Structure 1
Amino acid sequence: MNNPLDIITIFRVSALLFLLLSAMTWMMLGRPRRGATLLWCLGGALVGVSVWLISLRNQISDFWSYSVAQTLFLGSFLVLSQSLRMDMHRVWRWPWPVAAVLTYGATIVLGFDDKGAQDLAVLVRLVNCAGLTILTVSAWQLAHQERSRNAWFMTLGYGLMTASMGIAALATMQGLANLETLQSSMVSHILGGTSLLTLLLSYMGYLGLALERSLRQNMALRQSQWQSQQWHERSHALALRDRQHTLGVLANSLGHAILQPLTATSLQLQIVRRMLQTATPDAQKVQTSLVQVVQGLRRSADMVEHIRSFLRPAPTAVTAATQPLQSVVQDAHDLLRQALIYQGVTLHICLPPNPLYVRAERLPLTQALVQVLRNAMQAVQGRVHRTIGVSMAASATEVWIEVTDSGPGFVHHWLTSNPAHAHPSTDPMAGMGLTMTRGILAQFQGRLSLENLDGAGARVRMTLPLQAGQGTD
């Protein structure tokens, strides 16, 4: 035992290192309770237990030092191989390796009364060589798939152990070695030294592979965050561009929308002036007329502010509040009223008498509905009957706005491939508008659905969660 190359000491040191490094690896990698990492650490622990039992040969019962030790040794190789195959998504069905291990163990227990028999030694060495070959091939496949230098270190370590076990099998078949002569056999010294080298290469390689995967995941996460930031920036730019485009389309109607209340206000002021010029002005009528003047000015101011808000970029943080969905329809109608008249489009609006509330931001929802209506207006151009319908309904948990038109409908390919980019018109802004509409609805847990009507026409449904307690049957 004082010899530093004492084979029993080498076996026990290897066993303790396998047990210690398996536990340390398990803790360093986050103490997983399932998955490939836990299985790999369990396989390493099984190697340690089996090697320790082998080192106690002639000191404990042959059942433990031969039957149990060799069965665990083969089982550890198969468990390690299964762990590597789990990383490659090529998992064996568990009954097969379990059946192989149990059959091997039963063969040693029942087939050989003399545990020192040369036939048993040949069988053990050949089976161990086969198990190590399977493990080496699994490591090679993983290294090829991962393209990892650390995985190749693992393959090298297992390959050296396989080669040394192959040499031991040849020596055993020639009668130069057996399972009894641990201390005097050169083959045992080769196996003991190779096991230490395999231990070093395999654990260093596995920890390095785990580090590589972690770095790749971090890089992928940073790339995803950067792409998400770029998408949000482009989405905001697109939203602003679409609002400006919409404002350009509505420019012809803005003058009339603002001029009409101002003209009515001017007439009311003239009436008030004439009342005051009479000998006995009626104070009640004057007050009523002044109230109408104030209302007209407020309508004009509200229209100007509404257009400015529509053009202004949306804030980064969306502040949701309870909104009556009917007001969103009314705002969209006010913005498009004159454009509908100029294009000769008839808009039919059917809304429920009771308010239906959603928790959302009013301006983005208005923008989304305006985009849908603009697409419908473009779709009905060139049709004999240019009609668009807007209706609203609700269930116990959801409320939706449906926009139908008498246009040609959506192209079937667009509906089946990517509904978010489908649009019935030839305007390239339309498809992007529907994509933006879907994004706006998604901010408030809503969704956008498209379909064609029987015969002709299209239907677009904007669905949102109904505020609690506001559902209808």
Structure 2
Amino acid sequence: MFHPQTAFFLIGLLYIALPLTAWSILKRRHDGRSVALWCLGGGALGVGTTLIGLRDIAPNWLSFAVANLLIFGSYPLRALSLQRDLGMRERHELAWMAWGLPSGLYLILLATTTIDAPRVVLSAAGNALGAATLAWLSWRMFRLKGYRSAAMLSVAYALFAVSMVVRGVIFVINMQQMATFSPGWALTFAFVAAVVAALYGNLGYIGIALESAREVELARAMELSREQEKRKQIELHSSELSALLEERTQLLAHREEMLGVLAHEVRQPLNNASAALQSAAAVLTRVKDEQGALVRLQRANAVLMQVSASLDNALADAVLLDGPEPMDRQETDVDTLIELVLADISPQDRARVQVERSAAARTADVNPSLMRLALRNLIANALTYSPPQSRVTVHVRDMDSPLGLSIDICDQGPGFEPELVGKLFSRGKRGTRTSQPGGHGLGLHIVRRVMHMHGGTAQLAHNAPGEAVIMRVTLPQGGV
């Protein structure tokens, strides 16, 4: 069996080796000041314990005074390290007091008495208080941060504190009979507890540092994740803003296009109407040619009606059909609606329109203004593209499958060009088989949009050269 001094020497070497190991592992993975304080404290304890083991070889001032001063100083250094890891303010004044008080008392006892027992009791008390402080700080770290390594460190130092209390009590009881290296179970218990504290204390601190580093990495990962999520939100918001800007740009372009349409559609017809009215006035002033004046007035009226129709289409396309409010519908008499549509057409063209009715339904649930505009566009289109004096037929009938109301507008025109048929209801598309000036191709485009808003359809039902051209709109039963 080892002599007690040999055991002290070996334990001292263990206390030196383990802090060096901790330093080599943690110097770049954990807070540098905290690691330095812990390793300095552990190294001081190791050197002091080693010097105690050399008591018969080294001089007394070295193996007694210096050894115990190093041991007393080891605990405040490690306590400062744990305080730093806990985020507490480092209490240097308390650390100096915790080292200075037992060190001064030990030097006084060393100078005034040759008995080992008082110094052993003081040393045991200092070790017990230091180890208990480390155990308490470690346990607090376990409760606050959940580090399992801190719990292991706390248990190791608590065990060592208990062994020192037991050793101190035994020396108090047997003050005169015992020396520093008196054999017995208390000394064995102290050696075992010292080995446990050396091993599990330093391993526990390494674990604390690694768990802290992992916590920092997790925090960084979470921060990075939050930054990435924030960046995604910013990109999404930017995309939404870009889409909104594009939508607003398209809307402004559309409104500018409508202003251009209004400028084109209104300026020249108004000039023509003004010229016709001036001509009629001049005729009435110079001669009594009432028939000539009537013809010119009718021409001016036709031009003004054309202007009114162009304005209605342009305003409907720019404002009414794009409005955010839901469409107003009301029960409307179908015959009255068609009469209002015919009243919008010039008298000389109105005579060419024939209405045929084979529908039992008398009313329809529609928006009268929009339906009036859509039907007027269809009839005006048929009158424009069919030969002069030819007949245009408006046929109103019931549908069985699906249940609803169908209105056909038939003319004797040449029909639409094959390449135009697929784009007939698109904005800006119009036929060329007419000698009359046309607008910007809004008429049929508005027809389809109006029928879609009513849940119905608009289509070219028949388009064969030399035969009747039929445009058909349908309203579902819910709107009849």
TM-score by length of 1: 0.50
1:103 aligns with 2:87: no
Q: Residue by residue, what CA displacement relative to the aligned partner does 1:48-88 show, whole Å, maximum 9, x if unpaired?
A: 01111111123222222222211211211121111111111
1:158 aligns with 2:157: yes
Tell me how far apart the structure 2 counterparts of residues 52 and 61 of structure 1 sit (CA, whole Å): 13
Q: What residue number does 2:190 align with?
A: 191
1:88 aligns with 2:86: yes
Q: Residue by residue, what CA displacement relative to the aligned partner does 1:232-272 show, whole Å, maximum 9, x if unpaired?
A: 22221211111211233343422466899999xxxxxxxxx
Distance 1:179 1:262, change over 3 A: farther
Letter of the structure 2 residue corresponding to residue 214 of structure 1: A
Tell me how far apart the structure 1 counterparts of residues 259 and 140 of structure 2 sit (CA, whole Å): 78
Matches within 5 A, 1:413-432: none
Distance 1:178 1:150, change over 3 A: farther
Q: What residue number does 1:147 align with?
A: 146
Letter of the structure 1 residue corresponding to residue 21 of structure 2: M
Distance 1:9 1:58, change over 3 A: closer
Q: What residue number does 2:66 align with?
A: 68
Q: What residue number does 1:127 align with?
A: 126
SS in 2 for 1:83: helix
Q: What residue number does 2:230 align with?
A: 231
Letter of the structure 1 residue corresponding to residue 187 of structure 2: S
Q: Does the CA contact (< 8 Å) of 2:109 and 2:118 recur in 1?
A: no
Which residue of the other structure, out of 9, 17, 26, is the alignment partner of 1:20?
17
Consecutive unaligned residues of structure 2, counting only runs of 5 or more, are 263-480
Task: Compute the displacement of 1:168 (Å).
Answer: 0.4
Task: Compute the displacement of 1:111 (Å).
Answer: 4.3
Identity between Structure 1 and Structure 2 (%): 20
Distance 1:141 1:241, change over 3 A: same
Which residue of the other structure, out of 29, 33, 36, is the alignment partner of 1:35?
33
Aligned residues: 261
Letter of the structure 1 residue corresponding to residue 53 of structure 2: S
Q: Does the CA contact (< 8 Å) of 2:141 and 2:150 recur in 1?
A: yes
Consecutive unaligned residues of structure 1, counting only runs of 5 or more, are 264-473
Tell me how far apart the structure 1 counterparts of residues 215 and 176 of structure 2 sit (CA, whole Å): 47
Q: Residue by residue, what CA displacement relative to the aligned partner does 1:329-351 show, whole Å, maximum 9, x if unpaired?
A: xxxxxxxxxxxxxxxxxxxxxxx
Q: What residue number does 2:8 align with?
A: 11
SS in 2 for 1:35: helix
Range with bigger deviation, 19-28 or 213-222:
213-222
Distance 1:179 1:125, change over 3 A: farther
Q: Does the CA contact (< 8 Å) of 2:72 and 2:103 recur in 1?
A: no
Matches within 5 A, 1:244-255: 244-255=243-254
Tell me how far apart the structure 2 counterparts of residues 163 and 24 of structure 1 sit (CA, whole Å): 27
Letter of the structure 2 residue corresponding to residue 164 of structure 1: S
Q: Does the CA contact (< 8 Å) of 1:12 and 1:51 recur in 2?
A: yes
SS in 2 for 1:91: coil
Matches within 5 A, 1:238-277: 238-255=237-254
Distance 1:220 1:96, change over 3 A: closer
Distance 1:185 1:178, change over 3 A: farther
SS in 2 for 1:218: helix
Task: Compute the displacement of 1:97 (Å).
Answer: 1.7
Q: Does the CA contact (< 8 Å) of 1:19 and 1:44 recur in 2?
A: yes
Task: Compute the displacement of 1:173 (Å).
Answer: 0.5
Q: What residue number does 2:47 align with?
A: 49
Distance 1:36 1:177, change over 3 A: farther
Q: What residue number does 1:293 align with?
A: none
Q: Does the CA contact (< 8 Å) of 2:80 and 2:91 recur in 1?
A: no
TM-score by length of 2: 0.50
Q: Does the CA contact (< 8 Å) of 2:153 and 2:204 recur in 1?
A: yes
Tell me how far apart the structure 1 counterparts of residues 151 and 161 of structure 2 sit (CA, whole Å): 15
1:218 aligns with 2:217: yes
Task: Compute the displacement of 1:115 (Å).
Answer: 4.3
Letter of the structure 1 residue corresponding to residue 24 of structure 2: M
Tell me how far apart the structure 1 counterparts of residues 177 and 261 of structure 2 sit (CA, whole Å): 110
Q: Residue by residue, what CA displacement relative to the aligned partner does 1:211-246 show, whole Å, maximum 9, x if unpaired?
A: 222222333333332332222222212111112112
Letter of the structure 1 residue corresponding to residue 232 of structure 2: E
SS in 1 for 2:162: helix
Task: Compute the displacement of 1:149 (Å).
Answer: 1.4
Distance 1:88 1:166, change over 3 A: same
CA-based RMSD of the aligned residues comes to 2.8
Distance 1:92 1:115, change over 3 A: farther
Distance 1:258 1:20, change over 3 A: farther
